Structure 1
Amino acid sequence: MTDINPLAEGNTWTGARWYDLVDSATGSIRRVFLWQPPGEPPKEGWPVLYMTDGNAVIGTAIDAMRAQACYPSGTNVGWGLLVAVGYPTDDAYDPFRRSWDLGPPPGQSYPPFWEGGKEVRTGGGAEMARFLLEQVRPFVAARTQVDPAHQGLFGHSFGGLFALWLMFTQTAAFSHWIAASPAITWEDSFLLEHQARFDPGAHRLYVHLSAGEWEGDRLAPFQEGKEDAAARPADKTKTRTIAAAQQMAAELADLPGVTVEYETYTGENHMSVLPVAVNRAIQKVFALI
């Protein structure tokens, strides 16, 4: 049986409890944030939203939940568990580790983020998936009652790529899949090979894809006239964040048992979209109707 005792634990100022868990296979330490609603769980257990990039999203998710679930008749949002996987750091991100964890296999190698740093590698998504499903889930279930049939996964950017890859390869893992600004075209669009083989079978899934308005062909107003303005269109053409997400949503909508929505967030760029997308994940996963 997997050892799920935390190496360390503490509280965040947002009201979540954090636990540093040791990966049983690799020895890597990841920080798991857990926020529980007030009161007793429903008879079927709490619905759960799991999130990647835990350090960056847990505070926003808690605020969005607390502001809406207390007024369900006006928001259509009910209470649920929030679980976010991040790293033992005070920063919003650990870019080196998230590149490995959220980049699905086979992955590639890239130059260091900074001079003298380590080579950046992707391709550790299977390791992250195993940790999430085989260690984090039992860890959460040991602390409160959860509804195994109502669990969602949210990811942004690389996290969105990871979520979609996991959906294509382990379809039964979650009932709700939320991918914001997913890096669909990353590493020569290898994700599309998984999509081509995707068969939801008897599973009924909800999928929400999204991107910010300024992730399309046009530059954001604050980018116009800057020194790098001329170079940006080529990168936009390569990443195709909006177009790729729209196309995937349209194709998934043709599959039986899959309910799909796509949304473009007005006025948002690749990073500013994050709190908007986290809020939408709350609204979709914990919707009462």
Structure 2
Amino acid sequence: MTENAFVLPGTVQFDLAPVSGGEPYRILLFVPKGEPPAEGWPLLLTTDGNATFPFAVSSLVTQAPYPSGTGIDWGVVAAIGYPGDEPYNAQRRAWDLGPPPIKSYPPYFEGGPPVRIGGTGELLAFIEMQLLPRLAQMVKLDIRRRSLFGHSFGGLFTLYALFERPGLFANWIAASPTIYWEGSEILNNETARQRVPGNTAFLHLSAGEFEGDHLAPFQHSNEDAAARLEKKKIERTVALALEMAERLDGSDDGIRTQFELFTGQTHMSVLGPAVNRAVSIAFAVAQEIEESHANAQ
């Protein structure tokens, strides 16, 4: 028997280093077969790419062949990951996805480097000035149909990017965003957010059912059950996301919002359903898009 590494069909990867310096990112890319639409392919860009890219590609390729039954058509998936085989790079994602102020925390493990946050502006600049132009050179994209997805710290980054560059993407999908982080500093970004006359943006906020006030059934017997419950009261993931959705919906800067609670999901298990929802938003067939806009008016 011959064993070969499995590769997701239609995908490539390449490393891209920021022109400002620093370690390269591992960019993962899926492009559909055939000619793009006249206006170009819609694009879904995800953070934590090593973890999210396989979910997104599998979701798309199993649904896009049947648009009349799924409401999903073809498009391009790109993901920002890191060199290596692990789903997460805790050290780098803390810096990339944790908004300012710049701060240092104790190492994740004894003898390790300090954990730094505050580099979201650098990652956002990399996306805007390097990654999106590079992708546009490789494949024809519809600049009116770009979507950004992030989960947890990635969801927090998505909110930061929306408030800083509201015209960069049409759809902003923030799953289980850590809004509580650093005393909910992101709310100051929300208040001082950039406003673009005539711009429209759709923000989808979500969380898992068991990110609220209750433990998942299997967690009740865990040794850390009491501590985990107390942590939930601090994080308030569901409540803070819902409050933001209600606060921003129909705001004077053209933001439409939707909040979704994923039944039966925890902070980590929600990743699959949340990525699937991002795919349905980013690659909705034209009729679905028109109906969504009509319902929002």
- TM range, smaller chain: over 0.9
After superposition, give the CA deviation of every residue in 1:191-239 in whole Å (9 maximum; x if it has no partner): 0011112345311111100000110011111110322112222211110
SS in 2 for 1:233: helix
What is the CA-CA distance between 1:254 and the residue it aligns to? Answer: 3.5
Matching of residue 243 in structure 1 with residue 239 in structure 2: yes
- Percent identity reads 47
Rounded to whole Å, the distance in 2 between the matches of 1:195 and 1:53 is 23
What is the CA-CA distance between 1:50 and the residue it aligns to? Answer: 0.5
After superposition, give the CA deviation of every residue in 1:257-288 in whole Å (9 maximum; x if it has no partner): 22211001011100110011000000011111
Q: 2:60 aligns with which of 65, 68, 91?
A: 65
Gaps of 5+ in 1: 1-10
Q: Residue 12 of structure 1 contacts residue 18 of structure 1 at CA under 8 Å; is this kept in 2?
A: no
**1:181 corresponding residue in structure 2:** 176
Let me know the Cα RMSD of the aligned residues: 1.2
What is the CA-CA distance between 1:27 and the residue it aligns to? Answer: 3.0
Gaps of 5+ in 2: 289-297
Residue identity opposite 2:51 in structure 1: A
**2:293 corresponding residue in structure 1:** none
Rounded to whole Å, the distance in 1 between the matches of 2:251 and 2:179 is 19
**1:113 corresponding residue in structure 2:** 108
After superposition, give the CA deviation of every residue in 1:71-117 in whole Å (9 maximum; x if it has no partner): 00011101110000000010101000000001112232111111111
Rounded to whole Å, the distance in 2 between the matches of 1:69 and 1:32 is 23
**TM-score (normalised: structure 1):** 0.94
Q: 1:39 aligns with which of 34, 38, 48?
A: 34
Any residues of structure 2 matched to 1:229-240 within 5 Å, and which? 229-240=225-236
**2:282 corresponding residue in structure 1:** 285
Q: Residue 35 of structure 1 contacts residue 82 of structure 1 at CA under 8 Å; is this kept in 2?
A: yes
Matching of residue 252 in structure 1 with residue 248 in structure 2: yes
Matching of residue 14 in structure 1 with residue 8 in structure 2: yes
Residue identity opposite 2:280 in structure 1: Q
Count of residue correspondences: 279
Range that drifts further, 226-235 or 88-97: 226-235
**2:292 corresponding residue in structure 1:** none
Q: Residue 149 of structure 2 contacts residue 174 of structure 2 at CA under 8 Å; is this kept in 1?
A: yes
Matching of residue 261 in structure 1 with residue 271 in structure 2: no
What is the CA-CA distance between 1:12 and the residue it aligns to? Answer: 7.1
Q: 1:51 aligns with which of 46, 49, 55?
A: 46
Any residues of structure 2 matched to 1:129-144 within 5 Å, and which? 129-144=124-139
Matching of residue 227 in structure 1 with residue 223 in structure 2: yes
Rounded to whole Å, the distance in 2 between the matches of 1:69 and 1:247 is 33
Q: Residue 250 of structure 2 contacts residue 257 of structure 2 at CA under 8 Å; is this kept in 1?
A: no
SS in 1 for 2:241: helix
Q: Residue 173 of structure 2 contacts residue 204 of structure 2 at CA under 8 Å; is this kept in 1?
A: yes
**1:125 corresponding residue in structure 2:** 120
